[in-house]
A and B are shown apart, each in its own frame.
Chain A
Amino acid sequence: MLIDWFTVGAQALNFIVLVWLLKRFLYRPILAAIDGREQRIAKERADADAIRTEAGHERDALRQKNADFDTERAGLRAKASADAAAEHQRLVTEARAAADSLAARRRDAVAAEARALQDSLTRRVTDEVLAIARQALHDLADADLDAQVTTVFVARLRGIDGQPRADLAAALAGAAEPALVRSAFELPAAARAAVAAALDQIAASPTPPRFETAPNLIGGIELSVAGQKLSWNVADYLATLNKTIAAMLTPEDPVPAEAAPKPTADPT
């Protein structure tokens, strides 16, 4: 008989015991170890995921910070550049204004100096010319010349018409004092008569004119009546000449200043 039923029973029992032993000492601890490891790996993966997520958040935050920082830096840089450009422009403008002012002052000083020199020269030249002319005319003047002058004066007196003649007539007529006729030299009687006749022709005067000599006239004759004056003498000519020369020597406009070189703005 190949089957021994006692052995069958014993083997079945043995097998059941072996099942229990292996369950107790093999499957349970090994499976527990595997489960523990899997849980640990899962936990580590979850932790790693959490860390990765957190790192991602931090990375995003850092990128945002960097972007903000870049923007702020660009803004500050632009502002600084604008401020520097404005300051540069202001300094250039100030320097240009100062240079212009300095150039203007220098130009004015030069012009004033030139004008003073010119005035001084003119005055001296005029004085010299007038002195020479006065001396020459003084040397030339005499009674005959005054007679000639009187002749011309009388001719001119007769030639007055219009409003001046009316004014002169009114002055002669209403004068409280006699008309004063001044001459550089003593007028001869004929000349005095000619003058008186001419005055009478203009307006009948109650008193005859009074004649005086005035050497400062140099040569010529002068009529004064009631505040009005009519003259033809060398002193007046010289005065007119003096005025004319002064007007000619005095510049109408100041010398235009030489254009100062403009400083160029440095773009840097």
Chain B
Amino acid sequence: MRLSPDELIFWHYGALKLNGTIAFTWVLMLVLAGGSIIITRRLSTGLERSRWQNLLEIIVTGIEDQIADVGLRAPRTYMGFLGTLFLFIATATLGTIVPGFEPPTGSLSTTAALALCVLVVVPFYGISEQGIGAYLKSYAEPTIIMLPFNIISELSRTLALAVRLFGNMMSGTMILAILLTITPFLFPIAMSALGLLTGMVQAYIFSILAAVYIASATRTREPDQGPATPAPQ
């Protein structure tokens, strides 16, 4: 039994190797990008539009609303990163219903890569929003004594992100594999559905946490804006 699709090696040359994680990731990328290209080839700006365009618009506007709800002022600036995080993890979870597909998020390497991306992106957005001096100074808030703790917090939450997602995805796959050996019928289906639910929740959690980290990095010095007033209809 494999703990991770990393162990499924299709090709390898020296340090370079093509394992299951990378291969399934490429499949996901192909599905996401190819689907997007096909659906967005004939987009309608009128009131009449296709069901697939409707679906994509619902997903995109839903992501935009979620980012705005977290408190980020310009949701579209962060949509590329956060939206892709969510779609990637969610699609990987959905892929588990395809026999033979192993979600790349079940590999700690993938979740670590995603967490590292978050680790890099958070200061990137923080510096671009408030400048490098102000961003670095935020680590010494409220006093300089908090500096090491803030750095540890930054690293530990990255580790937590990676391990949480990996644990959930890997456990789902593992439980399914174990149950298949014990009770081959019906019960694995129920567990698979449960796995889908937890996978979607994890996708949401991962994206929202990343959004919250970015928001905390970009809003350090901003005054509390209070609740957003509803736009007039």
Contacts and interface: CB of A to CB of B under 8 A. Distances in A.
Contacts of A36: 45
Contacts of A17: 29
A10 B109 CA distance: 9
Contacts of A4: 6, 19, 109
A34 B49 CA distance: 11
B60 A15 contact: no
A22 B104 CA distance: 18
A18 B116 contact: no
Contacts of A79: none
Interface string A33-55: 11011001000000000000000
**Interface SS of chain B:** helix
**Interface SS of chain A:** helix
B84 interface: yes
B25 A27 contact: no
Central interface residue in A11, A31, A36, by most chain B CB within 10 Å:
A11
Nearest to A23: B80
A174 interface: no
A14 B22 contact: yes
B84 A15 contact: yes
30 contacts: A2-B3, A2-B4, A2-B108, A7-B107, A7-B110, A7-B113, A8-B109, A8-B112, A9-B113, A10-B22, A11-B21, A11-B25, A11-B110, A11-B114, A12-B117, A14-B22, A21-B33, A22-B32, A22-B33, A22-B80, A22-B83, A22-B84, A22-B87, A26-B36, A26-B60, A30-B40, A30-B43, A31-B60, A37-B47, A40-B46
Interface of B: 3-4, 6, 15-17, 19, 21-22, 25-26, 28-29, 32-33, 36-37, 40, 43-47, 49, 53, 56-57, 60-61, 76, 79-81, 83-84, 87-88, 104, 107-110, 112-114, 116-117, 166
